[in-house]
Amino acid sequence: MLLFTLILCFVTALAITPLIKMLAYKIGATDNPDHRKVHQVVMPRLGGLAIFMSFILGVLIINPSEHFHLPIIDLSTTSIHLPIVIGSFIIIFTGICDDIIQISPKWKLLGQLVAAIIVVVVGDIRLEFINLPFGGQLSFGEYLSIPITLIWIIGITNAINLIDGLDGLAAGVSAIALFSIAGMAVMMGNPYVMVMALIVGVSALGFLVFNFYPAKIFMGDTGALFLGYMISVLSLLGFKNVTFVSLIVPILILAVPILDTAFAIIRRLINKQPLSSPDKSHMHHCLIRIGYTHKQTVLVIYLMSAMFGIAAFIFSQTTIWGSFIVLLFILVAVELLVEKIGLIKEDYKPLLNFINARKPMKSKYKNL
């Protein structure tokens, strides 16, 4: 039943996307080129609607709790499923409004906040405490856990939206993240998260057929906000109330959008720009600037996302000290990447300068 549902979701997204493309042109949901954007012609957006419709079909066909006998960790499917779906409708409505009439950022944020509140308050999904690695527990309390969870949902939702700058980038990265979450859910015995992540993931892949370079349609905010919302909620469901080390797992799975967003904030603070101001220094912009083609840039970021996903699996299976070693290696690799592509500033290269400064010293001692 699950395999049939996944195939049907993929085919549905594949079949609906051309129809959504025609609808987008008809109602004026198009994206015009400008100095910040890579595309040179008017493109239809609203493609995320195909992903959402495929997802809704999937959840109507299959009830995850009926087909698997693994326990759902600390959750009741009946209490969380409806709030998640209701929140997804609110997110989709917000995205559709933005794709058609380009609503202001405050209204877009309001839609995300309402969807997140429904999940947190009605669905009772929140990060309440973290078991520390060397004993003890960090409890957020009833009231602090709510804003922390809301920040996570809204933050990840916007992070996916921010990386939606190249053909197929957000859809592919989201699919990789969703399949990684599904894999971790299998290991943790959480069938609900596994099934939901797979349904959204294959729906995104069906759309990706038309969205990969050269794209015939963009997902728009409709797709980016929906994928970000589902990824944030499902990752929270899979890893709530866990150890400090395990909390890093969803962060690793979502490392590409999280890092791109974090360094965008750092970059704007350094340059004394408003946090909401757009620029052309995101990860994909930097890779294109140093010589990668559009398609190569997308594939490189896909590879990075997959490697972070693999790192998350390794991280979750090692000892505490092994996890810290893996994390240290990842942090060094990220720092080298940031300096190499100029993600903060082109002249920000402290680690590379240190490494280059050591090379002449080694050569000098070798000659002696």
Q: Which residues are annotated as a binding site?
A: 161, 221
The H-or-E segment that residue 183 falls in is helix 169-187
Residues annotated in a binding site for Mg(2+): 161, 221
Between CA 165 and CA 218 the distance in angstroms is: 10
Specify which residues 139 forms β-bridges with. 129
Taking the C-alpha atoms of residue 72 and residue 188, their distance in angstroms, rounded to an integer, is 9
| Paired residues of 44 in beta bridges | 30
Contacts of 214 (CB under 8 A, 6+ apart): 167
How far apart are the C-alpha atoms of 146 and 59, rounded to whole Å?
Answer: 27
Which residues pair with residue 69 across a beta bridge?
Answer: none
Q: For residues 123 and 228, what is the distance between their CA atoms, to the nearest angstrom? A: 18
Closest CA to 243 of 129, 124, 75: 129
Q: What does residue 193 show for φ and ψ, rounded to 5 degrees?
A: -65, -40
